[in-house]
């Protein structure tokens, strides 16, 4: 936790041996407005929910690999409203985790899959947005080495691609190719943006409101 004074302090401790792989805040409320953290151990994922007391509680255990910019869906996201959404770069899948710990495949990205290649970064488009941003991290000796840049899609770009508020954007780690997932009665997946071939995308897709 980093306070207003800029000082960092330990907020919570996960069980030993876990590799933290994603973090998101439950703004919708189905997880009790807690901090959600995914952690890997021997190829399986545990989803933890952490309250203001810093004590992690297990939401799901033994889930498939999940890594990157996980996000909580808004209530308007069809039957997955309020679920935790997490990408799996190795299989090119996007999962939904509900508060009872059930994990289902929300979407198949249709993009190349594999380590440092597949879907990695996620974010939900807010009602009014001026731009979307994504980190492009330098990674030496990688097929997609990145260039320590910040990638940007302006509001006009989002509109031209038919991206609407409430949609889920998911970007691949290798090349930052981006899909748009829209869920109502059913979910649809469209490829909407191509990043630079060199790009090595990491973290969340972040939106700046207009």
In a domain, 5, yes or no: no
In a domain, 83, yes or no: yes
- The Cα–Cα gap between 157 and 152 comes to 9
pLDDT confidence of residue 141: 87
Up-side HSE of residue 111: CA atoms within 13 Å toward CB? 33
In a domain, 10, yes or no: no
- The Cα–Cα gap between 119 and 110 comes to 10
**Full domain range(s) for residue 51:** 19-208
130-177 residue pLDDT tens: 999 999 999 888 889 999 999 999 999 999 999 999 999 999 999 999
In a domain, 50, yes or no: yes
84-133 residue pLDDT tens: 999 999 999 999 999 999 999 999 999 999 988 999 999 999 999 999 99
Buried b (16+ CB within 10 A) or exposed e, 55-89: ebeebbeebebbbbbbbbbbeebbbbbbbbbbbbb
In a domain, 119, yes or no: yes
pLDDT confidence of residue 134: 97
In a domain, 195, yes or no: yes
In a domain, 6, yes or no: no
Does residue 171 contact residue 121 with C-beta atoms inside 8 Å? Answer: yes
Q: How many domains does the chain have?
A: 1
Record the pTM: 0.94
- The Cα–Cα gap between 111 and 205 comes to 17
34-73 residue pLDDT tens: 999 999 999 999 999 999 999 999 999 999 999 889 999 9
In a domain, 192, yes or no: yes
């Amino acid at each position: 936790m980093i306070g207003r004074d800029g000082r960092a302090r330990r907020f919570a401790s996960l069980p030993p041996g876990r590799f933290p792989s994603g973090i998101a805040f439950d703004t919708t409320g189905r997880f009790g407005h807690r901090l959600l953290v995914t952690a890997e151990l021997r190829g399986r994922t545990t989803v933890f929910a952490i309250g203001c007391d810093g004590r992690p509680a297990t939401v799901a255990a033994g889930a498939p690999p999940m890594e990157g910019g996980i996000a909580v869906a808004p209530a308007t996201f069809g039957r997955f409203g309020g679920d935790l959404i997490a990408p799996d770069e190795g299989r090119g899948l996007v999962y939904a985790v509900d508060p009872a710990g059930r994990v289902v495949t929300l979407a198949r990205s249709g993009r190349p899959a594999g380590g440092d290649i597949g879907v990695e970064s996620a974010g939900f488009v807010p009602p009014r947005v001026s731009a979307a941003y994504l980190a492009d991290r330098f990674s030496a000796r990688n097929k997609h080495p990145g260039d320590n840049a910040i990638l940007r899609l302006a509001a006009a770009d989002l509109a031209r691609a038919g991206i609407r508020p409430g949609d889920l954007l998911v970007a691949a780690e290798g090349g930052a190719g981006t899909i748009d997932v829209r869920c109502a009665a059913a979910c649809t997946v469209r490829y909407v943006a191509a990043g630079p071939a060199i790009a090595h995308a990491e973290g969340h897709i972040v939106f700046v409101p207009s």
